[in-house]
Amino acid sequence: MRAQRTPGIRPQLSIWRRLDTAARVSVPAVTLAWMLLFMAAPFGFAGQAEVQRSAALCCVFFWSLYRPTSLPAFVVFGLGVLADLLSYSPPGVTVLVWLLAQSMALRWRRSLVRLGFILVWFSFISVACGAAVLEWAMTSLLNVRLLPPGAAFFEAALGVGLYPIITVVLTMMHQTLADPEGA
């Protein structure tokens, strides 16, 4: 049976409606950029760079699962470059790690969005651990010396611990601010 289409003329969208939709679509990128800039402020607490990278990885993974069209790869690339510049890490390390995390989230997306939070969290745990090891290995390679792995373990543990907290905030944003259909 064919779906019935209602004939008629649809009114043009107003400029305010288009701006509202554009603002809602840009929420994931703006959230990630704001978080990067906020965490780059000189708060002076130990492990601030690791917290910034872990929280940003949580955002990339979450938005890649639930709003993949609002956080395309070129935006992740640009924000990864910004993160590398803000954290004084070797250029390209964060970009590559985030793009790989995004591709993993997109690959698993169809099955993960139907599952409960615990299974999504376990998937993120594997991504966070892999990202920390890859970041440590690439940074060691680019520094031409083997760096102590403690920072990588700390970053992975931070990501695992921060993901539930960040997910609560991002889920509220996803259901309210970032919903283009609700515009």
Answer whether 126's CB lies under 8 Å from 160's CB. Answer: no
Give the tens place of pLDDT for each residue, 57-106. Answer: 999 999 999 999 999 999 999 999 999 999 878 889 999 999 999 999 99
H helix intervals, the chain: 15-25, 27-39, 48-66, 73-87, 93-112, 117-143, 150-175
Tokens of 141: 């390679």
Identify the DSSP state of 112.
H
For residue 28, pLDDT over 80 is answered with yes
- Does residue 53 sit within a domain? yes
- Does residue 170 sit within a domain? yes
For residues 50 and 157, give the distance between their C-alpha atoms in angstroms, rounded to a whole number.
Answer: 10
- Report the pLDDT value the prediction gives residue 149, as an integer from 0 to 100: 93
Q: Across all residues in the chain, what is the average pLDDT?
A: 89
| Range of the structural domain that residue 54 is part of | 16-182
Q: What is the 3-state secondary structure (H, E, C) of 8-26?
A: CCCCCCCHHHHHHHHHHHC
Answer whether 128's CB lies under 8 Å from 156's CB. Answer: yes
- Does residue 78 sit within a domain? yes
Angstrom CA distances, 110 to 17, 103, 113, 115, stand at 30, 13, 6, 9
- Does residue 83 sit within a domain? yes
- Does residue 4 sit within a domain? no
Residue 1: pLDDT band (50, 70, 90) is very low
- Report the pLDDT value the prediction gives residue 56, as an integer from 0 to 100: 95
Counting the structural domains of the chain, the total is 1
Mean pLDDT on 96-125: 94
- Report the pLDDT value the prediction gives residue 46, as an integer from 0 to 100: 83
Angstrom CA distances, 47 to 9, 26, 150, stand at 58, 29, 11
Closest CA to 35 of 79, 93, 78: 79
For residues 180 and 183, give the distance between their C-alpha atoms in angstroms, rounded to a whole number.
Answer: 5
Q: Which residue has the higher pLDDT, 1 or 96?
A: 96
- Does residue 11 sit within a domain? no
Angstrom CA distances, 142 to 57, 127, 134, 135, 145, stand at 21, 22, 12, 10, 8
- Does residue 92 sit within a domain? yes
Give the tens place of pLDDT for each residue, 122-172. Answer: 999 999 999 999 999 999 999 999 999 998 999 999 999 999 999 999 999
- Does residue 6 sit within a domain? no
For residue 11, pLDDT over 80 is answered with no
Residue 8: pLDDT band (50, 70, 90) is low
- Report the pLDDT value the prediction gives residue 182, as an integer from 0 to 100: 63
For residue 24, pLDDT over 60 is answered with yes
